[in-house]
Structure 1
Amino acid sequence: MSARYFPGSTFHDTNSIETINNNEKQPRDLEQAPVEFHAVKRTMGNPSVLGLWSFGMVTILLGTYNLFLPTTSNHVIFPSGFMFGGLAQFIAGFMDFWYGGTFGGTVFVSYGAFWTGQALMMLSQFSSTLDAYTTKADADMANGIYHIFWAAYTFFLFGISFRVRGGNFLLNWCLGFVGITLFLEALSSFTGISALLRVSGVTAFLAAFGAYYKGLAELMEEQDVDIYIGYRH
């Protein structure tokens, strides 16, 4: 009889051993003690920490440019946007899916895709698609429409976050401020008011703070250190 392996829970299980007795009938002409097999329960680290911190990093980079350099190109954040905010968050999301985190996986993969797209638009090979717009006003309108729908999607997730299993204030905080950030960016594109972009930088900082804090709380929980402020219902 071969050992059976059981997958661990999504995040927080510790290693455990399960003993399986081999109770099958032994041949009558053999006197043999029952054989015991030890199946080690496989565990895995919490992918949400990576997802939250990658999300927080690119959000705080975006917030810095929106707040302090609203008229300056932010293309310098391409490497972090593509690899950390995009690819790393993608991986964390699919790992979360694999271990049963439907909502968390959806959020991480969604914003991983968002940041992959944002980063690709910083490359000249892809940003040339904006040449389809004959005037800056048309390009700004298209950019505003793009962000307004992402804001609507984020507010949709924000509403769901109040009802999902494992939801908490920090999750609500992150999604709420991300939605506000995207909405303000859309309004800035529609109106041309740079002050709205600067305010979106502030809300981006608040969203990033929530993401870093939530990731820290989940990491500390694995070390049996409880952080109660905002983390638990």
Structure 2
Amino acid sequence: MVAVTVAAAVVAGVLLITDDGKGSRGGSSDDVVQGPPGAPGPDGSGGSQGPGNLVTPAHSSGPGGTTVVIGEADAGHTLDVYEDLRCPPCASFDQAVGPTIAKDIKAGKYKVSFHFAAILDKSMGGNGSANALSALGAALDVSTDAFLDYKAALMSPKNHPEESKDSYADDNQLLTVSQEVYALKTNASFREALREGTYDPWAKKMIADFDASGVNSTPAVKLDGSQLTGSSGSTPLTAAEFTEAVNKQLKGG
């Protein structure tokens, strides 16, 4: 066993990681729980069940179901978005740029691959990042629209907690926020999955993938593998700067 020190700091609107042990994380990504009968597998069909089996949401794919791509399958470009659901700079990014990303997805400008970290859980204690991600997995199991709408609600000025508050560690708070999403308001399977922590192991896998990605700050965005930056040289934090960076990249820099 190796002791790992993880620190996070908000610098210029970006949450940074300093890590003495790359790829380290709290808990094991292999600590899984039994999912409910009929829970969907990585391809959205079937049900992975039985002791020790990982339950993955519908509309996920890839090893462990940790690939979450939303948009037209034949879109010629891929936007990678890296966020921590507990991170205030990520919330600011989502509030400013999220509607533009949603519009671009519908227009077929690119498809989006989402990646999630738990930086604040590690640096400040608690489990709000991971718990909110588990709940977001339950929303993804309902539909991709429910996923996008719930993520927007979690990141909204009304709901997103201050950095020092681990509000999303509380399932009741996550359920309260879900009432703002039409597809989730009366969805019993979503509520059960959230309460039971059905997608807790999946959330751990998602976080482990982020830890192994080499990305060391959130929010971060890449288009076709190339980092997007605004005028300050960091992640574009306004819709105008984001669109400018995207269009520049699409035109070949």
More helix by share: 1
Name which one, 1 or 2, has greater alpha-carbon Rg.
1
Same fold (TM over 0.5): no
Q: TM-score, normalised by structure 1?
A: 0.28
Structure with the largest fraction of strand: 2
